[in-house]
Structure 1
Amino acid sequence: MTTVVEPVHIKEQARLAQIASKELGLLSTEDKNAALHTIADHLDANVSNIMEGNNQDLANGRKALYDEAYMDRLALNEARIKEFAEGLRQVAKLDDPTGEIVSQWTLDNGLDVQTVRVPLGVIGMIYEARPNVTADATGLALKSGNAIVLKGGSSAIHSNRAIVKVMKEALISTKISQDAVQFIDSTDRVATEQLFTMKEHIDVLIPRGGGKLIQAVVNHATVPVLETGVGNCHIYIDKGADVDKAINIFINAKTDRPAVCNAAETLIVHEAFLAAHQETLIEAFNKYNIGVYGDDKVLSAVPNATRATEQHWAEEFLSLDVAMKVVSTVDEAIAHIDEYGTKHSEAIVTEDKETAKRFKGLVDAAAIYHNASTRFTDGSALGFGAEIGISTQKLHARGPMGLQALTTIKYVMSGNGQIR
C-alpha cells in the first residue's frame, strides 16, 4: 500500500528538523561522537529487524523484475549492515569541522574578524535504492551539526523505515534530539516534489541516484541543490601504457563492483596499443564476461562485439558491459570524454608523463587518475569516512563529499564600540 504524506505533515517534519538543527549546532564534538557510537551499537544489535525489512524490499524487487545491478544496490546482509554501523564509528573518529576558525585578521580600527566553519542547517536527502545511504548520510549530517530529512526511494521503503526506527530509538539516550532525523515515510513521488520547494526550512537538497532523479531535483527545486552525478567514467589506455598495468586497472574499474558510480563504463584505446596487445585485451574481455559495444575499429578487432550507438557512448551500464572506442591521439580521447563524460571520474594509463600531464590538465572532471583505477573516487577510500555523495558540480563542493562539504562559513566580528 502506498503511504501518502500530506504536504502539511512534510512541512512540519522539515520545521521540526530546523528547530533541532539549532540545538544540534551547539553540541560539543564529544556529544555528537557519543551519539554516533550509540546509533552504531543499536544498528549492530538490530540486524535481524533491518534484514526483515530488506527482505520485503528484495521480494518486491524480484516481482518488479529489477535488474541484477539494481538488486545489488538494494540488498543488505549482516556484513553490509555492520559495515555501515562501523562507518558511523569511523566518522566519529574524524575531525569535527564545525567551529574551525578558517581565517582571522584585525582591521585598522581594531575590529577583530573571523571566518568560522558552521553547519549548513537542514539537509534534504533524496535517494534511490541504496539503504546504506540512510545511515551514512545521517552520520555525516549529525557529525557536521546538521539535521537531516530523508526521502528514500519506494524500492527500499521497508529497509529505510527499519533503519530509521533503530536510529531514532538510539537517539533517545543521547543529547541529539530525535527530531534531528526526519524520515518521509511515503512511496508517493509527490512527497519528493514537496521537498523541492521548502526553502524556508531546508537549506540544501542532495539527490543521489539515477540521472532522471538527479535532473528532476536540479530542474525543479527552489531549494539550493548539491548535485551528485551519474558516473559515465572512462579509462583511456595510451600508446605508452604498460600492458599489465593497463589491463589490471581496466578490469578493476569495470568488474570490482559494476553497479557503482565510479566503475568504468567506457574504454578508450589508442590504436597502437590495440595493435600490439589485441589478443591480451580480448582474453581479458572473455575471462571476465565483458560485453563490448564499439566503433568500426572495435568491431573488426574484437569478436562478438556489438556496434555502439549514441546511447551506448553516454550509457551508465552498471553491469559488465562496456563501450569501447579506438583513437589515434590523446586529444581524440579527451574530445570523446568532453562529449560524453559526466564530469565524475576519468583515468589515463600511460608511461608518458607529458601525455599524462596533458590529459590531467584538459579533462574536466571531479576526479582524474593517472595509472590508477577510478574505483578510488569514494569517501572511505580517500580517507575521510563515509560520503554523502559525489559532487560533479563546481560550486561549493566537488568530488566525494565528506564532513567539510556539509558546512559553510560565518563571519564573526568582535569589537569595542567601533562604528562606521
Structure 2
Amino acid sequence: MLTPNIPPQPRFRYPGAVLFAFRRDPLGLLTRLARDYGDVVALRLARQHLVLINHPDLIRDVLVTHHRCFKKGRGLERVKRFLGEGLLTSEGEFHLRQRRMIQPAFHRQRIHGYGATMVAYAQRTAQRWQPGTTLDVAHEMMRLTLGVAGKTLFDADVEDEANEIGAALTELMHLFNVIASPLEEWLERLPLLPAARRFQRARDRLDRIVYRLIDERRRSGEDRGDLLSMLLQAQDIEGDGTGMSDQQIRDEAMTLLLAGHETTANALSWTWYLLSQHPEVEARFHAELDQALQGRAPTADDVTRLPYTRMVFSEALRLYPPAWIIGRRALVDYQLRDYRLPAGTVVVMSQYVMHRDPRFYPDPQRFDPERWRPEQVEQRPKFAYFPFGGGPRLCIGEQFAWMEGVLVLAAIGQRWRLRLAPGQTVEPEPLITLRPRGGLRMIVEPR
C-alpha cells in the first residue's frame, strides 16, 4: 500500500473484519489501534486506504502546516446529501468565498451581543422545569440550542418546531451510516428502499423549515442585522462581486442552524452528566456561580468571570468531543515521518482518541477540570486538544460555542442540579456527532 516503508498494519481474521469492527464500535477500534500500534497505523476500510495518526505534531502538519496537500475525506460527499455546499462541506475557492461573506456574523463584538439571547433561552428552559421531574436532558439541550441558533442567526423563534427538527435530525443521523455504506452507489439507484425513503423525508422536513425562513425574510425585505439578512445581501467584494443563490443561502442556513446547535447541545448534555457524577466538581461550579453572579442573571461580560465554569466545559469537550473524528484525503504523495502516503490516502484523526492519550493527560479517563489551568495548558502541544478542528477549516462558530456553553451552564446551574436517573446505562453513540445513546434521563433538583 505505502512505499517505501509501510506503517504498522493490524491483521484481521477474515476479509471485511475491520469494517465490521468499525461499524460495531468505532471508538473502541480506534482506541485499540492507537494503543497497540502507536502514532501511525495503516488499515483498509472497504475499498479505502486509511492511515490513523495519533500525535499532535502530525495532526498539526495535516490540518495547518501542509493543509494545501489535503482536502476533506470521502465522508464529506455523504454529509452533502443533507447539508449541501455549506461551510462545513464546501471546498477550495468556493469555501473561501463563502467564509469571507459569513465571517462578519461571527466577529467577537457581534458574538458578544448574542449573549443576552443565550441567557434568555436558558432561563426559559430553567423556568419550564419542575422539581423532581425526570427529563431527557439531551433533548432539552437540543431544544435550547436550536432556539438560540434560530434567534441569533435568523431572528426567528423556532423553539416550537424543536420536536420536528430534532426528530428529523435524529432520523438523518441514524440513517447516515446506512445510506453512507460501502454499497452507497447501489443504494442511490434504489430510491424505494425504506432507509432511502426515510432519509429523503427527513431531509425534506428540514428543507421546508429553512426555506420558509428564507422566503419570509425575502418577502418582508427587512434587514434585521442577523446572519440571514447578511446572506441575502452579501456580495463577494474581494472576488467577483456576486451574491449567493437561493440554494447557497439554504445550504449555509442549514449548516449553521443544524450543525451548530447539534454540537453545542451534545457538549452541554455530556457536561451535565459529568457534573452529576462528580459532586466535588459540581459544588465548586455552583460556588463560582454564586460568588461571581450574586443571584443575578449572567451576561456576556461574565464569561471571563467564570473561569472554572469554562474549565468544566473544556474538560467535558475533552472526554466527549461532539466532533469525534476528522478525515483528510491526500491530493499528492505525502511524506509522513518515514512513510510516503500515496495520493488518495485518507488520513484520519480522532479527537476522542487524542483527547484521551495518557502522554498528554495523566489518568485520561478521569474528569478533572484542573487540567485546564493556564500553566497546564501551556505544557501540552496545541493539537493534543482540537474539539473545533484546526487550520483554515477551524469551526467558524468556535467562539459562539464557548460563550453559549458557559452562559447556559451558568444560567441553569444557578437554579438547578441534575441527577442521573437510576437504571440507565450511559454510553456515547458515535454518529456524525457524539451523542448520548438513547438520550440522557436526569432528575431535576432545585439547589
Bigger Rg, which one:
1
- TM value normalised by structure 1: 0.25
More helix by share: 2
More strand by share: 1
- TM value normalised by structure 2: 0.24
